[in-house]
């Protein structure tokens, strides 16, 4: 079965902290040093010092409802230098992303189609909320 990561995070039960890896080389430790996570959306690598103390909270496209995906899938915002979850991407930015990446005469980049579809789905989701 195909599995596409949309959120890569683990929870440390010792310090009660959730740590998230945003990109391939984003290696994170929790504050007590027990848990680690790495790989961003490329792969879910995680570990622990104390057996059974870390819970994997990662989410996959194929096994998550869209209402959950939009709260966790994210994109880097160059202006604010922060990661923004899909549900918090403003309408204008969402339009720009779609125009930029949907293959057409005016597209200027390529994106993994699985992820591109999420931005399209978000636009559809918003149009359905307006009714």
The smaller minimum CB distance to Zn ion, of residues 49 and 91, is found at: 49
Residues 15 and 34 sit within 8 Å (Cβ to Cβ): yes
The smaller minimum CB distance to Zn ion, of residues 48 and 66, is found at: 48
Residues 119 and 98 sit within 8 Å (Cβ to Cβ): yes
- The least distance separating Zn ion from the CB of residue 13, rounded to whole angstroms, comes to 8
Residues 94 and 123 sit within 8 Å (Cβ to Cβ): yes
- The least distance separating Zn ion from the CB of residue 7, rounded to whole angstroms, comes to 19
How many degrees, rounded to 5, is the angle at CA 51 between CA 35 and CA 34?
20
The smaller minimum CB distance to Zn ion, of residues 34 and 64, is found at: 34
Angle between helices 113-130 and 91-101 (to 10 degrees): 140
Residues that bind Zn ion (CB under 5 A): 12, 14-15, 30, 32, 34
Distance CA 103, CA 106 (A): 8
The smaller minimum CB distance to Zn ion, of residues 33 and 113, is found at: 33
- The least distance separating Zn ion from the CB of residue 52, rounded to whole angstroms, comes to 13
- The least distance separating Zn ion from the CB of residue 33, rounded to whole angstroms, comes to 7
């Amino acid at each position: 079965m195909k599995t596409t990561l949309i959120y890569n995070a683990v929870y440390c039960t010792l310090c009660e902290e959730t740590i998230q890896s945003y990109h391939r080389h984003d290696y994170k430790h929790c504050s007590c040093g027990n848990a680690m996570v790495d790989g961003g959306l490329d792969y879910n690598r995680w570990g622990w010092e104390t057996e059974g103390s870390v819970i994997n909270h990662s989410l996959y496209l194929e096994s998550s409802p869209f209402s959950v995906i939009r709260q966790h899938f994210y994109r880097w915002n160059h202006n604010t230098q922060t990661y923004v979850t899909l549900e918090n991407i403003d309408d204008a930015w969402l339009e720009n992303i779609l125009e930029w990446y949907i293959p057409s005469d005016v597209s200027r980049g390529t994106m993994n189609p699985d992820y591109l579809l999420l931005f399209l789905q978000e636009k559809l989701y918003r149009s359905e909320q307006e009714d």
